[in-house]
Amino acid sequence: MTVSRALTIAGSDSGGGAGIQADLKTFTVLGVYGMSALTAVTAQNTLGVHGIYNLSLEAIAQQIDAVAVDLGVDAIKTGMLAQVPIIETVAMKIKEHQLPNLVVDPVMVAKGGAQLLENDSQQALIRHLLPLATVVTPNLPEAEVLTGRTIRTVEEMKEAARQIHSFGTRYVLVKGGHLEGDALDILYDGEQFAEFVSPRFETKHTHGTGCTFSAAITSELAKGAAVYEAVHTAKQFITCAIEDSLGLGQGHGPTNHWAYVRRHQQHI
């Protein structure tokens, strides 16, 4: 039996809706063997982030080494990398082990407003990680920080995608979850734009949408899909997960990681 393998390098969300937990759930339901290298432990629930404990550089590097030299990796994603030395260490290890199909989710701020990337770390992301990435998946506030521009329209999303592409990433996916109207995302490969659109659901339960979406892209890349197809499937996955969200907790609740597969199974 051939098994596709995906590694997430990200923070732990004790509430289970975002971070490592969202990634591993997504890998599993999409039929991919999931592995993890934790960068931080957060004490977190649907109401917010109550504590952040970054792991040592040694602990982060050892986890990546352990997985890469033994189990092997078909695709990889990064999430919360809070500090410049963590970004540098992760980039160094990805290069050393030549890990393929890198999806960078440039996590900066949690839905509740807590800062997950310390100030001045944005330049390190641009310098060290984006040139290694197959796909980078900024939401609008993240795209604004990476480009130094205000983004309010689809045309401005495209301009931001062009600028971020110039940092060396092969594909840029600017997500429009923070705009109004339909939930529109733009994929740019340096030549052409593709649009992925779904209806917008009126819900506050969007905790972990960015993590889940990028983990779904990573899963499909691990299985051998091309980037356009991977984003197409992942968009369906996240749309189902938001539409059928679980309503857990008192704040921004998690999405439903089973929804896509359940619906898919009903149709076959």
Helix (H) or strand (E) holding 28: helix 19-29
Candidates 47, 95, 115, 201; binder of ligand ADP (CB under 6 A) is 201
178 closest CA partner among 147, 159, 148, 156: 156
- In 10 A of CB 58, how many CB atoms? 9
**Catalytic residue of the set 208, 239, 240, 253:** 208
Please say if 210 is a catalytic residue.
yes
Please say if 211 is a catalytic residue.
yes
Candidates 82, 103, 173, 211; binder of ligand MP5 (CB under 6 A) is 211
Three-state secondary-structure class, residue 233: helix
**Catalytic residue of the set 211, 235, 239, 253:** 211
Q: Is 87 in the site for ligand MP5 (CB under 6 A)?
A: no
HSE-CB for 142 with a 13 A CA cutoff:
29
**Catalytic residue of the set 17, 210, 233, 239:** 210
Per CB under 6 A, contacts with ligand MP5 among 34-63 are: 42, 44
**Main-chain phi, psi angles of 47, to 5 degrees:** -90, -20
Q: Which stretch binds ligand MP5 (CB under 6 A): 93-101, 195-203, 208-216, 230-238?
A: 208-216
Candidates 4, 6, 7, 13; binder of ligand MP5 (CB under 6 A) is 13
207 binds, among ligand ADP, ligand MP5, none (CB under 5 to 8 A by kind): ligand MP5
Q: DSSP string covering 138-175, please? A: -BHHHHHHHHT----SHHHHHHHHHHHHTTT-SEEEEE
CB 165 within 8 A of CB 190: yes
18 binds, among ligand MP5, ligand ADP, none (CB under 5 to 8 A by kind): ligand MP5
Residues that bind ligand ADP (CB under 6 A): 139, 175-178, 183, 185, 198, 200-201, 203, 206, 209-210, 213, 235, 238-239, 242
